[in-house]
Structure 1
């Protein structure tokens, strides 16, 4: 017996797209924890649509960047793309869409705060992009992505060079060793931790950073040290 599909009309209005196949939207919002049968039933969750949506998102945004920044070289375009398709950005878009309340989660995942978890929101956002592509083709996916990513693309002020690279270059120019990073704390549940990392250089105050991954925390720590020594981060113009 097929499962009754929820009414997603409010969500469809928010995203500006109405599905011909409502079951497809339902699958895009279904976390594996909501399914009986466990991991072997992954194909009924958003996993496959997430896989597709990740690649559709990359293609559409690459096209948008190529057309919007005709003077940018491939290095700058790649850095802009990486910032726009990263999990943190997808999670922020999911929050703007208010996907959390629409997600299908298992009871334990829902009670553990899954509707607010960045990793789940990011995955569901990519699943939604994939579902729109399957249901309406490239033009529909392009319209959805433009609606929620174009302003982010135009407002991008992320460093052109990442903070760790800039800090290493700054240290080398002064004859200092490579900055040393060390994890000094970890909070949150095992499946959704927050890392705290410290970076140190000789004769400089230690700087710290937080992030959803160790890598992100290292970048935040490097940015904090650069700020403390008066170095301005490169900005994408």
Structure 2
């Protein structure tokens, strides 16, 4: 499944001087070398830097914890996969036969990696400032959806962990109960076990992370309500 090269009018918004960089960024390792893993490694750091600086400037009064949570929300795998879909990267991926058969072009992990690889390709092609000018607008809507003050809510797993630590209790354990569905549309069920006080809850989601968050939220509510 060879990728279609981006042209000036395409969604990415960057005309590559070296189109081979883009071709490599969109080539999954299942399709052979050169693939995009090294570019993904570099792109991961660039995306984190761009988002961190943008939040630092956007939230001048936010503390480190709020900035960290905001960045984590923007650069998590699912969020980057959404951006990759908006850029229509999936249909341009070069995949091996096995990944093509199992719908790899729709899988969050592959799309997120490709997104980061494309960011690195832009950086190598045109430099940091050009990369920032192209990439930051992709995050505009998701940044606008965050609280304007930077007072982001802690995620359920963090709230549960801090509640237990504050009472010198053992940390919760998460156990994968089941996963079902096709590779591109899996459903995960996870159990959260708290030993003291004894609580066991389950959560379900499109990723293991989301299922864990749901289970942690349910456990936290039970523990707080019991006091």
The answer, yes or no, to whether TM exceeds 0.5 is yes
Equivalent in the alignment of 1:234: none
Return the TM-score normalized by structure 2: 0.81
User: Deviation per CA, 1:44-78, whole angstroms, max 9, x where unpaired?
Assistant: 11111111111111111111011111010111111
Q: Distance in 1 between the 2:63 and 2:46 partners?
A: 22
Aligned 1:39-118 pairs, distance under 5 A:
41=33, 44-118=34-108
Q: Distance in 2 between the 1:204 and 1:73 partners?
A: 33
Q: Distance in 1 between the 2:154 and 2:187 partners?
A: 24
Equivalent in the alignment of 1:167: 160
Q: How large is the RMSD of aligned CA atoms in angstroms?
A: 3.2
User: Deviation per CA, 1:114-172, whole angstroms, max 9, x where unpaired?
Assistant: 11011110000000000000111112211222111122112126953220232355578
Determine if the alignment matches structure 1 residue 124 to structure 2 residue 114. Answer: yes
Equivalent in the alignment of 1:222: 216
SS of corresponding position for 2:127: helix
Return the TM-score normalized by structure 1: 0.78
Find the partner of 1:16 among 13, 18, 23. Answer: 13
Q: Distance in 2 between the 1:226 and 1:138 partners?
A: 43
Determine if the alignment matches structure 1 residue 208 to structure 2 residue 203. Answer: yes
Runs (4+) of structure 1 moved beyond 3 Å? 4-7, 167-182, 188-194, 199-207, 224-231
Find the partner of 2:179 among 183, 186, 202. Answer: 186
- How many pairs were matched up? 219
SS of corresponding position for 2:179: strand
Equivalent in the alignment of 2:29: 32
Which deviates further from its counterpart, 191-200 or 69-78? 191-200
5+ residue gaps, structure 2, are: none
Contact 1:198 / 1:209 at 8 angstroms: preserved in 2?
no
Q: Distance in 2 between the 1:85 and 1:160 partners?
A: 16
Aligned-residue offset at 1:193: 5.8
Find the partner of 1:198 among 181, 191, 204. Answer: 191
User: Deviation per CA, 1:163-186, whole angstroms, max 9, x where unpaired?
Assistant: 023235557889998656432212
Contact 2:106 / 2:184 at 8 angstroms: preserved in 1?
no
Equivalent in the alignment of 1:154: 144
Q: Distance in 2 between the 1:207 and 1:222 partners?
A: 8
Contact 1:54 / 1:126 at 8 angstroms: preserved in 2?
yes
